Homo-oligomer: A and B are copies of this chain.
């Protein structure tokens, strides 16, 4: 019998899955990367799509395109519905399956509403391109509706924007929304007053950017307030509906609420028949394999990995990429028949977050930066990390244009349904 090639199936084309596929370039294996979407998404800049600064094709690229030069990989656009761990096959929605010798699960996280799933309808989160264009539509429609509203109270509610959760996404959204709204009201909605505008950032913990050092959290809080963002700390949200959000003793009337508070892992634990942690993540061995399932690896936001210092590996892009590259090394060792355990060591390069134009915070550990200099470093770092030359050029130009003219390039209100224009009011209520 002719020996057949080692077959690696990777589920998920995010930072982790893509890094694993790339690091297997040239390996003596047949690699299959499965994703239910055709594109890899550069999540760190997705909030800029939601706030009309960038267009979707500037932060997302077809996975096939990114892997086009790699001979040993096949890209499959398909939805995974389960895993047959005994038969070593990934089950697809269309009834077919993909056999594996090694399996890498890198399916990432979704928003989680802590048991309040009904809130999702009123407070969308930001994970996909569609989420971003839906939030963009909500933001721009609120301004349009405010322009037509004759009742002063209702107009104020339309000009109030609430963001829940003050991690990097919440902070970046709050800063970008207040800038978008200010620029729009001044430039295009002459009948509206910036005095009616409220952007409220609600956080359950005692500081913003809790994963940064307190000094940078304090700077960020101050920078947000100087921009006009109201920051409510130590406030747990108790209710969200179509008219506003309640927290602690307070209530804010608003038509636009954005959820940046929590995520849960995709259902990998269920697929594998193992226990997940509270956030649904799978606890893995030091080499990222799943206990008692040899050849099955879990990486990225869906994995629970402890560092040697006892801290968990954070759910950020660099961690997913490092884990993807590591798992490729482990699989190459398997293919070569080597059986030593290769433990994963996470190297934390630093934390970055932008607060708005000319304001950002960076913590590289050995140096901490804030203000306009950090903002420029932030921009350059993100352009550097983009995976494609064309996008580097286009995003640089988009940012330069906004910087020089203040005009955001992508303020389109588009709907999902083709052939049908949904009326304004109906859209507002969705």
Contact = CB atoms under 8 A, between A and B. Distances in A.
A134 interface: yes
A250 interface: no
A412 B94 contact: no
B68 A38 contact: no
Interface stretch (A9-17, A74-82, A299-307, A340-348): A74-82
A133 B390 contact: no
A127 to B, nearest CB: 9
Given A64-B189, A144-B38, A412-B60, A124 B423 contact: no
A56 B410 CA distance: 8
Interface string A368-409: 000000000000000000000010011001000100010101
Contact of A94 (B57, B96, B147, B424): B424
B421 A68 contact: no
Contact of A415 (B76, B130, B188): B130
B415 A416 contact: yes
B188 A65 contact: yes
A93 interface: yes
A2 interface: no
Interface in A17-56: 36-39, 55-56
B74 A191 contact: yes
A118 interface: no
Given A76-B147, A94-B148, A414-B133, A57 B409 contact: yes
Contacts of A148: 76-78, 94, 96
Contacts of A412: 38-39, 56-57, 60, 62, 129
A378 B58 CA distance: 26
Contact of A37 (B39, B77, B131, B421): B421
Contacts of A279: none
Given A38-B140, A390-B401, A65 B407 contact: yes
A4 interface: no
A249 interface: no
A413 interface: yes
A47 to B, nearest CB: 15
Contacts of A147: 76-77
B120 A411 contact: no
A152 interface: no
A134 B68 CA distance: 25
A194 to B, nearest CB: 16
A246 interface: no
Contacts of A86: none
Given A36-B421, A38-B144, A130 B188 contact: no
B79 A421 contact: yes
Given A55-B57, A187-B68, A418 B128 contact: yes
A425 B94 CA distance: 7
A130 B68 CA distance: 29
A147 to B, nearest CB: 7
Contact of A55 (B56, B144, B413, B424): B56
A278 interface: no
A255 B74 CA distance: 24
A45 to B, nearest CB: 15
B419 A416 contact: no
Given A57-B409, A133-B414, 9 more contacts: A36-B423, A38-B140, A62-B188, A62-B411, A64-B189, A65-B187, A65-B407, A79-B421, A130-B415
Complex A-B, nearest 9 residue pairs according to Cβ-Cβ distance, in ascending order: A416-B416, A134-B418, A64-B188, A57-B410, A77-B144, A55-B57, A130-B418, A38-B413, A55-B55
